[in-house]
Amino acid sequence: MSTTLTDSPHQRPKQIVELTEAAVRLAGDSGDGMQLVGTQLTNTSAVFGNDISTFPDFPAEIRAPAGTPAGVSGFQIHFSSRDIRTPGDKVDALIAMNPAALKVNISDVEKGGIVIINEDAFSKTDLAKAGYANNPLEDGSLDRFRVYRVPLAKLTADALKETGLGAKAVERCKNFFALGIVYWMYDRPMDVTLNWINDKFSNKPDLAAANVKALKSGYFFGETAEIFSISYRVAPAKITPGHYRKITGNEATAIGLVAAARSINKTLFFGTYPITPASDILHQLSKYKNYDVRTFQAEDEIAAVTSAVGASFAGAIGVTASAGPGIALKTETLGLAVMTELPLVIVDVQRGGPSTGLPTKTEQSDLWQAVLGRNGDAPIPVLAASTPGDCFYMAHEAVRIAIRYMTPVILLTDGYLANGAEPWKIPDLKTLPTITVSHPTQPNDPKGYMPYKRDERLARPWAVPGTPGLEHRIGGLEKADVTGNVSYEAENHHHMTMTRMKKVLGIANDLPKLTVEGPEKGDLLVISWGGTFGAVSMSAQHVRDKGHSVAHCHLRYMFPFQKELGTIIRNYRKVLVPELNTGQLRQLLRAEYLVDCIGMNKIQGKPFLISELEEKMLSILSNK
């Protein structure tokens, strides 16, 4: 950290401290627009060239009682001049729009961290709603932080006095005033947000002007008010050269599906039913009509998946998406897709369960549901994305496997990946794995078209309705080998069940090689999967930096596992499996490889902190 004095573009020279990274959390009522300004700070930092990682955290209720802890909505963004992979363990600066936001978030703020408080919202009633007996601004409980009391509502009202807007509209602009202060404090350029405001409110010039005014007033307040002595600068990160954008997991999933479908000139049919946190995939895809994306908001989760199966039968790429409870409803149809051996992609954006659980919080507890949760022996390949941007590649990969093996494929993402954002290097389409598809036009046998006559990968042919001479019937009853006619024969059922399993297990021959970060043999192997990649890889690196023999192996293929895993797992004295569930991967690994694994399990609706992972690794290593 270095301290410099520079010339401000404005009147007053200011003291600027260079930081390598900062984690800022904006918190307020659900109606305060925190997600919106959080997204603006994200976009600005990404375009500025920082590495970023975000964590939006909002309640399940649309408008919980105002001012209560239940209604607090927060958005954390971590921006850095070097590689980062998590939203940050601790918060360097908290912006609290009311006492409830302060109460819910203060424990995450670093000692000595900045706390900017909207003091207009600290009346006796406000404090009571938040459950404060004493005013934290006066009782000394915030002494270990650098607290800045700012009358945000009043300052916003003063700034917008001339606009002629009503009190309510003015009040709504205070989030941009707060954002303005953050922009000043972290030396962020305002142009990305100014452009966004003007674009968003192009039909409402008075609102555009008011929000611009609020943002700039906040910025100038930071600069001219005597209360902030220092501002900070986080330089752009040195990241791989290329063309970048910011992307969330749900956006990446959506365009990964479209990219896969377009690469083979296929209709993408997306049948779904709205559910948190998967709905944004529908919102995104419903805009892409000119890409031949046909979205269907079904009457329920079952119709969502059955329509996708129907679309696949008719020759489109059928896709459905949901969260855990919705996947449960689709389960019977997944068995049908296994039996009829049709390509289908099922995206499960995991959230806290069971039942309705924690709809807006993240968890990794649908792994068993995805791998095991069906009647009968019904193997379905399961993939898991590791970062928001990786959702693109895994969605593309899911389509590839579904078509190549004529099988449903489940893609697991989670709430943390779905809503979290990172800078994403726009891929070169030519470097993506090739997807090939072929539909027979001639009978594949002298006796006629045989829908269950398989290729060398055991995949059956995909003859599409409308093709003359290939008329055939499929369904959920057991199929006779080759002909596909209904068969109740004992030997045939055994053969078909084993064949379906063999086909899916054979996918392991067709997967990228699994590697580890760190030593190839050693004391500890940490195996993670899905959205915990960032925190686990960073913490393992830190522990290696301290001289320990720790390797990290991250899984994106959950069923079947990559072929190398069995060998890798035996090269280390101990195995640690951190998961945001009670130990679902650990159990699968034990069953598959007969090795002991130590679990680290967190079921709080929150991602892992780097520090807690490090601590666990170090404690295991000290017990050797």
Q: Which of residues 234-263 bind other proteins (CB under 8 A)?
A: 236, 239-246, 255, 258-259, 262
Q: Which of 110, 119, 171, 292 binds other proteins (CB under 8 A)?
A: 292
Nearer to other proteins, 61 or 300 (CB): 300
Buried b (16+ CB within 10 A) or exposed e, 511-532: beebebebbeebbbbbbbbbbb
Q: Compute CA distances 124 → 135, 147, 177, whole Å.
A: 8, 19, 24
423-442 residues in contact with other proteins (CB under 8 A) are 426-427, 429
Nearer to other proteins, 332 or 517 (CB): 332
Quote the least distance from Cβ 334 to other proteins, whole Å. 11
118-157 residues in contact with other proteins (CB under 8 A) are none
Nearer to other proteins, 472 or 590 (CB): 472
Nearer to other proteins, 258 or 597 (CB): 258
Nearer to other proteins, 429 or 591 (CB): 429
Nearer to other proteins, 47 or 618 (CB): 47
Please give the angle made by the CA atoms of 576, 578 and 582, to the nearest 5 degrees. 115
Nearer to other proteins, 240 or 622 (CB): 240
Residue 309 binds other proteins (CB under 8 A): yes
DSSP β-bridge partners for residue 56: 75
Residue 351 binds other proteins (CB under 8 A): no
Quote the least distance from Cβ 307 to other proteins, whole Å. 4
Residue 513 binds other proteins (CB under 8 A): no
Binding residues for other proteins, total number by CB under 8 A? 81
Residues comprising the chain, all counted: 624
Q: What is d(CA 408, CA 336) in angstroms, rounded to the nearest whole number?
A: 10
Nearer to other proteins, 286 or 549 (CB): 286
Residue 49 binds other proteins (CB under 8 A): yes
147-206 residues in contact with other proteins (CB under 8 A) are 192
Question: In angstroms, how far is the first alpha carbon of the chain from the final one?
Answer: 37
Q: What is the DSSP letter of 413?
A: E
Q: Which of 31, 151, 373, 443 binds other proteins (CB under 8 A)?
A: 443
Nearer to other proteins, 449 or 561 (CB): 449
Residue 311 binds other proteins (CB under 8 A): yes
Residue 12 near residue 222, CB atoms below 8 Å: no
List all residues 6 or more positions away from 162 whose beta carbon is below 8 Å from its beta carbon: none
77-116 residues in contact with other proteins (CB under 8 A) are none
Q: What is d(CA 271, CA 323) in angstroms, rounded to the nearest whole number?
A: 14
Q: Which of 80, 306, 360, 365 binds other proteins (CB under 8 A)?
A: 306
Buried b (16+ CB within 10 A) or exposed e, 60-98: eeeebeebbbebbbbbbbbbbbeebbbbbbebbbbbbbb
DSSP β-bridge partners for residue 19: 234
Q: Which of 215, 336, 507, 527 binds other proteins (CB under 8 A)?
A: 336
Q: What is d(CA 366, CA 383) in angstroms, rounded to the nearest whole number?
A: 12
Residue 595 burial (CB count, 10 A): 14
DSSP reduced 3-state for 98 = coil
448-477 residues in contact with other proteins (CB under 8 A) are 448-451, 464-477
583-612 residues in contact with other proteins (CB under 8 A) are none
170 half-sphere exposure, CB direction, 13 A CA radius: 16
Task: Build a one-symbol-per-residue string for 378-417: x at contacts with other proteins by CB under 8 A, - elsewhere.
Answer: ----------------------------------------
Q: Which of 90, 79, 76 is nearest to 27 (CA)?
A: 76
Q: Which stretch binds other proteins (CB under 8 A): 104-112, 127-135, 274-282, 294-302?
A: 294-302
Q: Which stretch binds other proteins (CB under 8 A): 69-77, 101-109, 267-275, 346-354?
A: 267-275
Q: What is d(CA 379, CA 290) in angstroms, rounded to the nearest whole number?
A: 35
269-288 residues in contact with other proteins (CB under 8 A) are 269, 271, 288
Quote the least distance from Cβ 8 to other proteins, whole Å. 25
Quote the least distance from Cβ 529 to other proteins, whole Å. 27
Quote the least distance from Cβ 472 to other proteins, whole Å. 5
Buried b (16+ CB within 10 A) or exposed e, 7-38: eeeeeeebebeebebbbbbbbbbbebbbbebb
Q: Is 506 exposed, middle or buried (0-12, 13-18, 19+ CB in 10 A)?
A: middle
Q: Compute CA distances 329 → 85, 269, 323, 379, whole Å.
A: 34, 19, 10, 18
Quote the least distance from Cβ 492 to other proteins, whole Å. 15
Q: Is 328 exposed, middle or buried (0-12, 13-18, 19+ CB in 10 A)?
A: middle
Q: Which of 83, 300, 377, 596 binds other proteins (CB under 8 A)?
A: 300
Quote the least distance from Cβ 310 to other proteins, whole Å. 3
DSSP β-bridge partners for residue 383: 411, 557
Nearer to other proteins, 300 or 596 (CB): 300
List all residues 6 or more positions away from 464 whose beta carbon is below 8 Å from its beta carbon: 314, 315, 439
Q: Which stretch binds other proteins (CB under 8 A): 87-95, 103-111, 170-178, 304-312?
A: 304-312
Q: Which of 30, 35, 43, 80 binds other proteins (CB under 8 A)?
A: 43
Q: Which of 83, 486, 546, 604 binds other proteins (CB under 8 A)?
A: 486
